[in-house]
Structure 1
Amino acid sequence: MKRVDVAYVLLVDEQEENVLLVKNKGPEASYYTLPGGAVEKGETLEEAAIREVKEETGLDVQLGGIFTVSEAFFEERGHHTILFTFTGKIIGGEINISMPEEIEEVTWMNSQQAEQYIHLARGFEGLIESKTTVPYILREAGRHQS
């Protein structure tokens, strides 16, 4: 199995009632997720999260802490995936779908409804509203520029 890291960003509106989701085109059906995607070689989780949000939504974001870490086995793809979700805030840009072949919609959704799309385990209802995070720490000393 190939290890794949994915970085997502949880963005809430100013009233703290709605969550920004993207509707991805899937092989069988479209599905909602938080904006985000796979971390590329040589990229930090933070860099990947910021890049993916920009690519998928047109928005510039500043990241907060880690909201959730989860993992999944996607047998059909042969992937063991670790999913890191950051909190973030919008600092610029405007909603624009630059990849219509992948993303068909960018939408704000009520946080209770959004929870069903961000794969929280049973018993974690209300987690978005709790705003619990842990720090994300990049240890620069170990990073070599290629």
Structure 2
Amino acid sequence: MEKWFGAAGICLNDNAELLMVLQGKPEEKKTWSIPSGGKEHEETFEECCIREIKEETGYSVEIVEDIKIKKRTYKHLNLSAEAHYFLVKIVGGKRSFQDPDNLIYEIAWKTLDEIQTLELTFPEDRSFLINYIKEAIPS
């Protein structure tokens, strides 16, 4: 079984909106995801997260904290995946498409209500993202 390692960044703005990208290969249906991607050979998971967000959104970020590690097996793809999720904050850059793979079609801040109905690249993340945002919102 092939192994894949990657990282994803959760970035919330002051309105508790989540930074998301609309992505997909040209022939695929486009779906929403938090910025994420595969780890390069000598890269740490943190470096991967920072690079992927820069490539996909144009924003420079720094890691605030580790959130979780998601491990999944996709038997139909003969693939085992491990993705490290980080909370990040924007420290520079500006919203722009710089994706070297040309898989990003839109960059947007999504509300909690929108996340509940968006077509997600990783539908298994929906409840986690919703609960994470709810906990982040000051009561």
Provide the aligned C-alpha RMSD in A: 2.2
Normalised by the size of structure 1, how large is the TM-score?
0.78
Normalised by the size of structure 2, how large is the TM-score?
0.81
Matches within 5 A, 1:1-146: 1-15=1-15, 17-26=16-25, 27-99=27-99, 101-114=102-115, 117=120, 119-120=124-125, 125-131=130-136
Alpha-carbon separation, structure 2, partners of 1:58 and 1:121: 24
Deviation, 1:124, is: 7.8
When the two structures are aligned, how many residues end up with a matched partner?
130
CA deviations 1:6-49 (Å, max 9, x no partner) are 1000000122x200001112443111110010111111000000
The structure having more radius of gyration, on CA atoms, is 1
Alpha-carbon separation, structure 1, partners of 2:107 and 2:24: 12
Relative to total residues, which structure has the larger helix share, 1 or 2? 2
- Structure 2 spans left out of the alignment, 5+ residues: none
Identity of aligned pairs, percent?
Answer: 23
CA deviations 1:87-135 (Å, max 9, x no partner) are 010000000012372100001101343366463376885222224xxxx
Which residue identity lines up with residue 13 of structure 1 in the other structure?
N
Look up the match of 1:140. none
